[in-house]
Amino acid sequence: MTDKSWMLNPKAIRCAKECISIIQEERGLRLKLSQPDFLQIIHEILDQTQSRALGDCYAKLISMAGVGFVMQNLKAKNEDNKDVVPMKKAAGAETMTLQAPHATVEHYGKVYPKYRAGLAFKGVYRGQPMYS
């Protein structure tokens, strides 16, 4: 399970929201803090766009979240095993998909990672995926 203790810091939340707004302006993607792999998604988008503003904001966010922890939890790119994970798009934006390097499960029209932190997907409870 990922550590989200950085979300208790108001400055980190401001940086995260700034990253969200930059991504929405540049890519037209709606990203939410409640997404399970929030930092991983921002990292992948940053790799794709090479945006200076997003890079600066992401660096501030990582410094507040703990660099060692974040780097440990980032998933390596694996070209052989990529599944497509659709994301919501902002009004008038092109369709955008992120590449996920792990297996996924579709549950009532939504896609969730099949495994997280060594645990298997068991279902959704109050909108959050449950793993055991």
Region 42-53 average pLDDT: 85
Beta strands in the chain (DSSP E): 83-86, 97-100, 104-107, 110-113, 115-116, 119-125, 128-131
**pLDDT above 60: residue 32:** yes
pLDDT at residue 21, as a whole number: 92
**pLDDT above 60: residue 71:** no
Mean pLDDT of the chain, nearest integer:
75
pLDDT at residue 83, as a whole number: 47
Q: What global pTM score does this model have? A: 0.51
